[in-house]
Amino acid sequence: MNTQPNSDESPDSRHLAYGREVAELLSQTSAAAWANDLWDIYSGYMLAQKEMGYNHRASDIFTSFKELLFFFQRVEAVKGMR
């Protein structure tokens, strides 16, 4: 992903760059499939917690998972509006 901030870059061009990266990501598979994959990844992570031991970042990881899941759900909703 090539979205490094550039002081000469306008916010609009940065948003377009992010949009291109999202489009590239979604060209690989649908937003719904990404959401399902996230559930699989997070479920596996949770199952492995007993073996891996305590992780002080568990709540941060859940928040990241939740935000990514909501992101892909919003993307799927936008796709449905077209």
Q: In this predicted model, what pLDDT tens digit does every residue of 53-73 receive, in sequence order?
A: 999 999 999 999 999 999 999
pLDDT over 80 at 1, yes or no: no
Which has the higher per-residue pLDDT, 68 or 8? 68
Return the H-helix or E-strand segment holding 65: helix 58-81
Summarize the confidence of residues 12-17 as an average pLDDT: 94
Please, how many CA atoms are within 13 Å of residue 77, restricted to the half-sphere of its CB? 6
Summarize the confidence of residues 24-40 as an average pLDDT: 94
pLDDT over 70 at 6, yes or no: no
